[in-house]
């Protein structure tokens, strides 16, 4: 269970960092902005990791 909590924290990290930089609380955000940031960041990471396999 500890592993899943750590994995969840890593997954949410980009959105949490952006919210902290913009000084927006999680209550004000409601999870929408943080979710968008996380999807953008992890989407780009996945695409970059898959590019070598797609081009071959």
Q: How many CB atoms lie within 10 A of CB 50?
A: 10
Q: What do you get for the CA distance between the two ends of the chain, in Å? A: 38
pLDDT at residue number 26: 83
Confidence of residue 41 (pLDDT cuts 50, 70, 90): very high
Average pLDDT, the chain: 92
Instruction: Answer yes or no: is pLDDT of 56 > 70.
Output: no
Cα→Cα distances 10→7, 28, 51, 53, Å: 5, 22, 23, 25
Distance CA 51, CA 44 (A): 11
- Predicted structure pTM score: 0.80
């Amino acid at each position: 269970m500890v592993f899943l909590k750590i994995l969840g924290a890593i997954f949410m990290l980009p959105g949490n960092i952006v919210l902290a930089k913009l000084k927006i609380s999680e209550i004000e955000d409601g999870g929408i902005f943080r979710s968008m940031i996380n999807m953008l960041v992890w989407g780009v990471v996945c695409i970059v990791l898959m590019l070598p396999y797609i081009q071959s």
